[in-house]
Amino acid sequence: MKRILIWIVVLAVAAALVWWTQFRPQETRVSVFFIGTIDGAGTMVPVQRTVRGRGAQEVLRGAFEALLAGPTAQERAKGLTTEIPAGTRLQGLSVREGVATVDLSEAVGSGGGSASMQGRLWQIVYTGTQHTAARQVRLIIEGQERQALGGEGLMIDRPIARPPTYPRF
């Protein structure tokens, strides 16, 4: 009986150690990209957030939740904004073969002109390609592939990679 009790304790400790080292969510620093103005043009400005998770999918999910929450009051006071419409929700996210597929609600395509659409698309692409497991972002809306974002005709019919320099719009 004593031996069984010892084995149970050993197994419980081993299970706890495996969970602690392999599965426990970790805090990770990520970049979330908002819009700032340089020389009169909008461009990407990275800000840091702390998210919890392990692996590309969990970390990027946390990054997108932070992106959709928008800039903090302090960041807004420094002139940072977001082009992603309020009410946009993350419907799903997966990472496979170097592509982060980001499923957002219909609100992501509403309102704004061409500069606004470019801004929101680049916010999504830059936030989604910060992890080495995701070199491109595929944007889908309400679970469906679309040819274009909003009425501006900004093409989203294939995965999009981060350009070498921040775009200006």
Residue 20 lies in a domain: no
Domain count, the chain: 1
Residue 43 lies in a domain: yes
Range of the domain at 55: 26-161
Q: What is the DSSP letter of 81?
A: B
Nearest CA to 57 among 99, 89, 22?
A: 99
- pLDDT for position 112: 85
- End-to-end CA gap in the chain: 73
Backbone angles phi, psi at 46, to 5 degrees: -80, 140
Per-residue pLDDT of the chain (169 residues; tens, 9 = 90+): 788 878 777 776 666 566 666 666 689 999 999 999 988 899 999 999 999 998 999 999 999 999 999 999 999 999 999 999 999 999 999 999 999 999 999 999 998 898 999 999 999 999 999 999 999 999 999 999 999 998 768 999 999 999 999 999 8
Residue 58 lies in a domain: yes
Residue 123 lies in a domain: yes
DSSP calls for 33-78: EEEEEETTEEEEEEEEEEEEESHHHHHHHHHHHHHHH---HHHHHT
Q: Rounded distance, CA 62 to CA 166, Å?
A: 22
Q: Which residues contact 43 (CB under 8 A, 6 or more apart)?
A: 35, 36, 37, 166, 167, 168, 169
Residue 70 lies in a domain: yes
Residue 1 lies in a domain: no
Q: What is the DSSP letter of 158?
A: S
Residue 78 lies in a domain: yes
Residue 147 lies in a domain: yes
